[in-house]
């Protein structure tokens, strides 16, 4: 390692150490990290002064800026460098509530396990609650065996301690919040086609539905919830925010909205500089039969509504999620704000890319059907059940994710590298 490289690496490690210790890096820690990178003892004296200078500089900048800068420098840090545990979480001393939220598309694979284990480790460390929340509010996108597969995997990976929440069992709660948002004038039912809504929103213009009164919106919400055709026999529809208006509705023998005719939208800022933030949808009609709920419900919350409601209701304190959810997190924060709730502490994780390993649930299901795999626990697959069968321990995944830490940079590993690391952690 030449001197220029060394200085760059010193800065990377100083930033990393500072972020780990609330903004203050320590010279000794940086030097010992550099030993792992090949710094020789006899050279310490020569570069020591330089390193102290770098540490001083780093300690002068804010934690936010340190994090930003570290994103650029992180690549310089050896992936195999042994970390001294996960960084501390703020406001965690009294315990934390955290979650892992898979969709029911298949069993857990190594990507899930590495992401979820970080949150689980924090709950282990500080005490509190760990939820596995199965996000099954899109009836069209559910692989029914996934419920049991995910529960089995969670039982093993999280020592039977994960509390299981199934979103489709909490529908009344989402309806309650939808109504709350309408009553706060922060949600409206939009009957524009998605093309015409998009056309307007691209020009930062509101559609006519946005100007409707709160009462009109509540009526329209009823029409979303109501079955499409009423017969006189159905006097009291099963649910709805306001029974009396439902009754009039029934007597009138009117029709509810059809699938695709109406969506509930959040009233954000129609001039938001990010078009994806403008009046995003909260709920829609989908009459497909749901594997658990069958045809009990026709209005389904979209992710940003159900996630927000659950994070509030389950009293989430810290959220660690994949960085592709950054925009969603911004939307969820808007809803939190309207409801006067404090948003949890949050962190993001970089994307995992596993070369030459099959992680796609669709492809695995297909492969099982075709007889290419004997099942989700086929030894050729990088699923948790397959690795459990091969004799790996849950701790090997915990150690692996602890080693990676709260890192936002994307990581690429091929099969050989992945198993080499996993084997190291399994032996420990
Ligand atoms: Zn509209």
- Higher pLDDT among residues 420 and 230, named by residue: 420
- pLDDT surpassing 80 at residue 15: yes
Across residues 24-49, what is the average pLDDT? 83
Residue 235 CA to ligand 1 centre (angstroms): 30
The pLDDT of residue 239 = 52
pTM of this structure: 0.79
Better-predicted residue by pLDDT, 246 or 375:
375
Distance from the CA of 280 to the center of ligand 1, in angstroms?
A: 12
169 C-alpha to center of ligand 1: Å? Answer: 30
Q: What is the 3-state secondary structure (H, E, C) of the chain?
A: CCHHHHHHHHHHHHHHHHHHCCCCCCHHHHHHHHHHCCCCHHHHHHHHHHHHHHHHHHHHCCHHHHHHHHHHHHHHCCCCCCCCCCCCCCCCCCCEEEEECCCCCCCCEHHHHHHHHHHHHHHHHHCEEEEEEECCCCHHHCCCCHHHHHHHHHHHHCCCCCEEEEHHHHHHHHHHHHHHHHHCCCEEEECCCHHHHHHHHHCCCCCHHHHCCHHHHHHHHHHHHCCCCCCCCCCCCCCCCCHHHHHHHHHCCCCCCCCCCCEEEECCCCCCCCHHHCCCEEEEECCCCECCCECCCCEEECHHHHHHHHHHHCCCCEEEEEHHHHHHHHHHHHHHHHCCCCCCEEEEECCEEEECCCCCHHHHHHHHHCCCCCCCCCCCCCEHHHHHHCCCCHHHHHHHHHHHCCCCCCEEEEHHHHHHHHHHHHHC
**Cα 215 to ligand 1 centroid, rounded to whole Å:** 16
Give the distance (Å) from ligand 1 centre to CA of residue 283: 14
Cα(210) to centroid(ligand 1), Å: 6
Between the CA of 328 and the centroid of ligand 1 the distance, in Å, is 21
Q: What angle do CA 85, 86, 91 make, to 5 degrees?
A: 130
Say what the pLDDT of residue 32 is. 79
Whether 81 shows a pLDDT value over 60: the answer reads no
In the reported structure, the alpha carbon of residue 284 is separated from the centroid of ligand 1 by a whole-number distance in angstroms of 13
> Is the pLDDT assigned to residue 74 strictly greater than 80?
no
pLDDT for 235-251, tens place per residue?
455 455 544 444 444 44
pLDDT band at residue 231 using 50, 70 and 90 as cut-offs: very low
Q: Give me the pLDDT at residue 189, please.
A: 98
**d(CA 327, ligand 1 centre) in Å:** 22
CA distances from 235 to 228, 230, 251 (A): 14, 9, 8
423 C-alpha vs ligand 1 centroid, how far in Å?
Answer: 55
Distance 281 CA to ligand 1 centre (A): 11
pLDDT of residue 330: 97
Q: How far is the CA of 102 from the centre of ligand 1 (A)?
A: 32
Q: Which of 18-22, 111-115, 210-214, 355-359 is predicted least confidently?
A: 18-22
Separation of CA 217 and ligand 1 centre (Å): 11
Please give the distance, rounded to the nearest whole angstrom, from the Cα atom of residue 313 to the centre of ligand 1: 30
CA of 331 to the centre of ligand 1 (A): 19
- Is the predicted pLDDT of residue 85 greater than 90, yes or no? no
What value does the mean pLDDT take over residues 83-95? 84
201: pLDDT strictly greater than 60: yes
Å from CA of 412 to ligand 1 middle: 43
pLDDT for res 233:
46
Cα 286 to middle of ligand 1, angstroms: 18
> What Å distances lie between residue 368 and 112, 128, 146, 154, CA to CA?
20, 38, 14, 22
Q: Minimum mean pLDDT among 45-59, 67-81, 241-255, 393-407: which range?
A: 241-255
Ligand 1 centroid, distance to 200 Cα (angstroms):
9
pLDDT at 53 over 90: yes
Q: How do residues 126-171 score in pLDDT, each as one tens digit?
A: 999 999 999 999 999 999 999 999 999 999 999 999 999 999 999 9
> Nearest CA to 223 among 285, 266, 289?
285
Q: How many angstroms does the Cα of residue 252 sit away from the middle of ligand 1?
A: 25
pLDDT reported for residue 406: 86
pLDDT above 90 (res 8): no
Distance 171 CA to ligand 1 centre (A): 24
Quick: pLDDT tens for 215-226. Answer: 999 999 999 998
Work out the pLDDT band at 227, boundaries 50, 70, 90.
Answer: confident
Q: From ligand 1's centre to the CA of 208, what distance in Å?
A: 6
Provide the pLDDT confidence category of residue 228 given band limits of 50, 70 and 90. low
Q: How far is the CA of 357 from the centre of ligand 1 (A)?
A: 44
218 Cα: distance to centroid of ligand 1 (angstroms): 15
């Amino acid at each position: 390692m030449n001197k220029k490289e060394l200085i760059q690496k010193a800065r990377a490690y100083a930033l990393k150490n500072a972020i780990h210790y609330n903004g203050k890096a320590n010279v000794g820690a940086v030097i010992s990290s550099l030993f792992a990178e090949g710094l020789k003892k006899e050279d310490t004296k020569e570069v020591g002064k330089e390193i102290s200078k770098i540490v001083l500089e780093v300690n002068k900048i804010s934690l936010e800026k340190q994090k930003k800068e570290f994103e650029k420098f992180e690549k310089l840090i050896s992936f195999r460098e042994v970390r001294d545990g996960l960084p501390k979480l703020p406001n965690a001393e009294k315990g934390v509530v955290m979650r892992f939220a898979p969709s029911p598309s298949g069993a857990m694979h190594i990507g899930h396990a590495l992401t979820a284990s970080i949150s689980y480790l924090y709950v282990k460390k500080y005490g509190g609650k760990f939820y596995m929340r199965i996000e099954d509010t899109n009836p069209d996108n559910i692989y029914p065996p996934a419920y049991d597969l995910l529960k089995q995997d969670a039982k093993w990976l999280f020592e039977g301690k994960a509390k299981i929440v199934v979103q489709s069992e909490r529908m009344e709660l989402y309806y309650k919040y939808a109504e709350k948002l309408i009553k706060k004038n922060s949600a409206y039912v939009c009957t524009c086609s998605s093309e015409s809504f998009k056309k307007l929103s691209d020009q930062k213009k509101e559609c006519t539905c946005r100007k409707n009164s709160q009462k009109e919106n509540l009526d329209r919400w009823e029409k979303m919830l109501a079955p499409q055709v009423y017969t006189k026999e159905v006097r009291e529809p099963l649910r709805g925010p306001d029974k009396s208006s439902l009754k009039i509705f029934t007597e009138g023998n009117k029709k509810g909205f059809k699938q695709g005719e109406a969506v509930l939208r959040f009233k954000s800022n129609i001039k938001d500089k990010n078009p994806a933030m403008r009046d995003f949808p909260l709920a829609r009609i989908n009459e497909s039969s749901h594997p658990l709920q069958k045809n009990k419900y026709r209005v389904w919350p979209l992710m940003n509504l159900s996630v927000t409601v659950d994070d509030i209701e389950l009293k989430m304190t810290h959220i660690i999620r994949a960085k592709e959810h950054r925009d969603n997190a911004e939307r969820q924060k808007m809803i939190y704000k309207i409801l006067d709730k404090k948003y949890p502490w949050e962190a993001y994780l970089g994307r995992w890319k596993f070369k030459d390993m099959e992680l796609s649930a669709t492809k695995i299901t297909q492969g099982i059907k075709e007889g290419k795999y004997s099942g989700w626990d086929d030894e050729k697959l990088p699923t948790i059940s397959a690795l459990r069968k091969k004799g790996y321990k849950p701790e090997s995944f915990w150690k692996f994710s602890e080693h990676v830490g709260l890192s936002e940079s994307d990581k690429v590993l091929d099969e050989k590298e992945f198993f080499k690391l996993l084997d190291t952690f399994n032996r420990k």
